[in-house]
């Protein structure tokens, strides 16, 4: 059964358009001009309970507008949204008790208070029972290794510590769905791995439905199984990461390091390029050339010290989709 149902939703904004400078400002006061920007154009998708979905797109694609409609901040001009049986923009008060939101660039913690005081405040706001609050607090702070700074003021925390605190703050009331907006932005490598591992474990064990909007494709690759890509207000892809690689990322590069200087003979449908230190690159289409046969041919003809196969980064695949190259 679908936990989230989005059917043909659209959103258009009325934007004031005026000329620059004081004359333009004065003219706008007496005869304002407007233009209409269609941010989201009749998009539809369903998400099952417990799914972890990456929702991505370039700046201005419509992803933030869609997330705001899903979280109940905005009302769609047309179409229908249902999340866990709620209509977000109509049942806002009841709905917010079942959702969590993490904004990488905006904290919900009190800047001058210790982290634990912000947690106590959220406990009161959400009316979380004492036993539930204590259980969640102990579990999450232990998983995210927060005991060393939970009593420090938020202003004294590193960015990674603050992000971990914000994630716990969004989960204390045990929401059924969590929206993550750039949850690892600016965080160091160790902090990113800690956050990703925590999110993945929580999803697997508690079946919390999660939606990511992020520009860090490592967040998506290490946590999500499904990807929704939006561009210019429309969905251009909805499927698994495995499928997007098979469909749009068929290019592969095999790097062979030889024991001695080697002149490699041409191979059908393979681009061969010499590299430094007796290394040679073999670029091919995975749907045309079988990688095992290619490796067998190279190993059978030449003295090879090392051989590796590189798959394209998901980020490069998506970039090609944005520019239209992946559809050629």
Nearest to 241 by CA among 227, 251, 253: 227
pLDDT at 327 (0 to 100): 47
Instruction: Spell out the domain ranges in the chain.
Output: 47-245, 250-311
pLDDT at 328 (0 to 100): 41
Give the three-state DSSP class for 99: strand
Cβ proximity of 256 and 282 under 8 Å:
yes
Compute how many other C-beta atoms are within 10 angstroms of the C-beta atom of residue 151: 10
Burial class of 93 by CB neighbour count within 10 A (0 to 12, 13 to 18, 19+): exposed
HSE value, Cβ hemisphere, 13 Å, CA-based, for 80: 7
- DSSP-derived letter for residue 291 is H
Name the E strands within 201-314.
Answer: 209-213, 226-231, 234-240, 251-258, 270-274, 279-285, 304-310
pLDDT at 58 (0 to 100): 84
In what helix (H) or strand (E) does residue 217 lie, and over which residues does it extend?
Answer: helix 217-223
The CATH number given to 47-245 is 3.40.50.300
pLDDT at 325 (0 to 100): 66
pLDDT at 126 (0 to 100): 92
pLDDT at 36 (0 to 100): 85
- pTM comes to 0.79
- pLDDT tens, residue order, the chain (328 aa): 689 999 999 999 987 777 777 776 776 676 777 788 899 999 999 999 999 999 988 888 888 899 999 999 899 999 999 999 999 999 988 998 899 998 877 888 999 999 999 999 999 999 999 999 999 999 999 999 999 999 999 999 988 899 999 999 999 999 999 999 888 877 888 888 888 999 999 999 999 999 988 878 888 888 898 999 998 899 999 999 888 877 777 888 999 999 998 999 999 999 999 998 899 999 998 889 999 999 999 999 999 999 998 877 777 777 777 776 654 4
> What would the two tokens of residue 109 be?
């913690």
Sequence length of the chain is 328
pLDDT at 286 (0 to 100): 86
Nearest to 185 by CA among 177, 195, 197, 172: 195
- DSSP-derived letter for residue 127 is T
């Amino acid at each position: 059964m679908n936990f989230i149902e989005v059917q043909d939703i659209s959103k258009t904004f009325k934007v004031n358009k005026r000329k620059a400078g004081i004359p333009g400002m004065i003219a706008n006061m007496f005869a304002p001009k407007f233009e209409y920007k269609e941010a989201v154009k009749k998009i539809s998708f369903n998400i099952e309970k417990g799914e972890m979905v990456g929702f991505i797109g370039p700046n201005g694609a419509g992803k933030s507008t869609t997330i705001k409609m899903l979280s109940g901040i905005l009302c769609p001009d047309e179409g229908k949204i249902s999340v866990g049986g709620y209509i977000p923009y109509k049942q806002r008060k009841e709905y917010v008790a079942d959702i969590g939101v993490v904004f990488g660039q905006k904290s919900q913690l009190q800047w001058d208070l210790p982290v634990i005081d912000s947690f106590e405040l959220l406990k009161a706001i959400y009316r979380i029972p004492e036993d539930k609050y204590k259980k969640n607090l102990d579990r999450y702070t232990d998983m995210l290794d927060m005991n060393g700074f939970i009593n420090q003021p938020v202003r004294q925390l590193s960015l990674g510590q603050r992000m971990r605190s914000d994630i716990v703050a969004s989960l204390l009331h045990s929401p059924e769905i969590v929206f993550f907006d750039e949850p690892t932005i600016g965080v160091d490598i160790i902090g990113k791995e800690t956050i990703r591992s925590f999110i993945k474990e929580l999803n697997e064990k508690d079946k919390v439905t999660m939606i990511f909007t992020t520009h860090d494709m490592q967040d998506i690759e290490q946590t999500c199984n499904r990807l929704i890509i939006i561009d210019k207000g429309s969905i251009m892809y909805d499927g698994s990461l495995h499928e997007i690689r098979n469909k749009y990322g068929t290019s592969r590069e095999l790097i062979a390091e030889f024991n001695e200087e080697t002149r490699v003979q041409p191979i059908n449908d393979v681009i061969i390029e010499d590299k430094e230190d007796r290394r040679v690159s073999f670029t091919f289409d995975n749907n045309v050339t079988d990688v095992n046969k290619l490796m067998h041919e190279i190993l059978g003809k030449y003295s090879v010290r090392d051989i590796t196969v590189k798959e394209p980064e998901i980020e490069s695949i998506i970039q090609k989709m944005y520019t239209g190259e992946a559809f050629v």
